[in-house]
Amino acid sequence: MKRRHDRCSPFQCRRDTCPYAHRYKDATWHGHCCNACFQGYEYHTPNCQGHGDRVLQPVPQLGKRSRVLQQANKACETSQTQKSMCDFRVWRSRWDDGPFSVLEYIDLMFREERGKPAPPKVIKNWERVALLCDSRAMKDLRDESYICPPRIYVYKATEVPARHKDICINCIVRNSRFFIGHSEHQTFRSCDVTGADLCVQVNLLMEANAPIIVEECILRREFLTKMYGRDLALACKHATHRSLGLAAIICQLIYSRAIIKVGTARTIAACRKQMCEVHEQ
């Protein structure tokens, strides 16, 4: 089968989706109508018969595997958008019966759960978050965050909708600075607890990457809103322990009125026992 530029005029563009030809026949010709098709510009240039028109892109031909993946992503997106998510708030934060500083509240959580103060290594890991929360920039934004609290979405890693894939922090990606292992603590294996329980939250406070995730959430919410928006999203394997526990920690330490949105039956039941349900109009 002959190419299009073989059967048309010698200055016809070789791209099958382009109907234009090169305008000046005495110029050096590179097989395309102009630099738009040759170098990937958005609009045709003046040396083209279609000057000013947008370059037509070819329709991608999806293979069998690509079509299957596209259908799977569409089905996942449909199931997630149809699934209703319940809204919850934490019962207590560091501003209640205090106010406590970030490090003082972490120490209080350890004393309530384990009957002893937080280890020095944990306090050291959370010092950067404490300094960031006490900075002048955060104090200026605190009133705005109180009036317009963020929403923290908790997803399964396989059910993150397309609208939140760019902003979602996935806790199960290995070799990532946000990775948190699942099998290191027996608490995470238990079927009786979720991230809404204090024991899971204390175990997460001991993880080295947990303060990195909280710090990243603060930076995205307060200083990188043009890139990530005003909402936060966390994901793990089952949306039960790690992501929900981190969301509860963020609410208790940073945003006391933040709304946690959960979608699995187990987490909804657990949050109704441990948290305050919010009914939004």
Phi and psi, residue 275, nearest 5°: -125, 175
Please report the pLDDT score of residue 53 as a whole number.
Answer: 81
Residue 67 inside a domain? The answer is no
Enclosing domain of residue 44: 1-59
Half-sphere exposure of 61 (CA within 13 A, CB side): 0
120 and 246, same structural domain? yes
Q: Strand, coil or helix: what is 166?
A: coil
Domain assignment present for 81: no
Q: Are 77 and 162 in contact (CB under 8 A)?
A: yes
Give Cβ neighbours of residue 248 (< 8 Å, ≥ 6 apart).
Answer: 90, 195, 196, 201, 260, 275
Q: What integer pLDDT is reported at residue 247 of this predicted model?
A: 96
Residues 168 and 250 in one domain: yes
Does the residue 71 lie in any domain? no
pLDDT category of residue 27 using cuts at 50, 70 and 90:
low
Give the residue from 59, 78, 105 where a domain finishes.
59
Residues 171 and 247 in one domain: yes
Mean pLDDT along residues 23-50: 78
pLDDT of residue 230: 86
Same domain, 146 and 25: no
Q: State the first-to-last Cα distance of the chain, in angstroms, to the nearest integer.
A: 62
- The CA-CA-CA angle for residues 127, 110, 252, to 5°, reads 65
81: pLDDT confidence band, cut at 50, 70 and 90?
very low
pLDDT(85) > 70: yes
Closest CA to 86 of 277, 276, 230: 277
203: which 2 tokens? 């175990």
Tokens of 89: 């708030």
pLDDT of residue 140: 58
- Specify if 73 maps to a domain: no
What's the rounded Cα separation, in Å, for the pair 250 and 89?
11
* 19 plus 132 within the same structural domain: no
Q: Is residue 266 domain-shared with residue 161, that is, in the same domain? A: yes
pLDDT at residue 146, as a whole number: 61
Residue 76 lies in a domain: no
What average pLDDT does the segment 238-242 reach? 90
**Which alpha helices (DSSP H) does the chain contain, by range?**
4-7, 35-39, 64-82, 102-114, 120-125, 127-133, 136-147, 186-189, 198-205, 210-222, 225-228, 242-253, 265-274
Any domain includes 68: no
214 and 246 in contact (C-beta within 8 Å)? yes
Q: String of b and e for 198-219 (b: at least 16 CB within 10 Å)?
A: bbbbbbbbebebbbbbbbbbbe
pLDDT at 206 over 90: yes
| Higher pLDDT pick, 190 / 6 | 190
Residues 48 and 160 in one domain: no
Same structural domain, 250 and 194: yes
d(CA 13, CA 33): 5
Whether 235 maps to a domain, the answer reads yes
Instruction: Tell which wins on pLDDT, 156 or 192.
Output: 156
Q: Which of 266, 261, 241, 90 is nearest to 164 (CA)?
A: 261
Whether 54 and 189 map to the same domain: the answer is no
Q: Are residues 190 and 232 in the same domain?
A: yes
- For residues 129 and 168, state if they share a domain: yes
What percentage of the chain reaches a pLDDT higher than 90?
37
Alpha-carbon distance of 197 to 249, in angstroms, equals 11
Looking at every residue in the chain, the average pLDDT score rounds to 80
**Cα 279 from Cα 276, distance rounded (Å):** 10
User: How many independent structural domains does the chain possess?
Assistant: 2
- Residue 77 within any structural domain of the chain: no
143 and 239 share one domain: yes
Measured CA angle at 261 (ends 102, 109), to 5 deg: 25
Task: pLDDT band for 47, please (50, 70, 90 cuts).
Answer: confident
CB atoms within 10 A of CB 109: 18
| % of the chain at pLDDT higher than 70 | 76
The reported pLDDT for the residue numbered 170 is 93
Beta-strand relationship, 232-236 and 168-170: parallel
Least confidently predicted of 75-84, 162-171, 193-202, 240-249: 75-84
Mean predicted confidence (pLDDT) in 216-224: 88
pLDDT score recorded for residue 2: 40
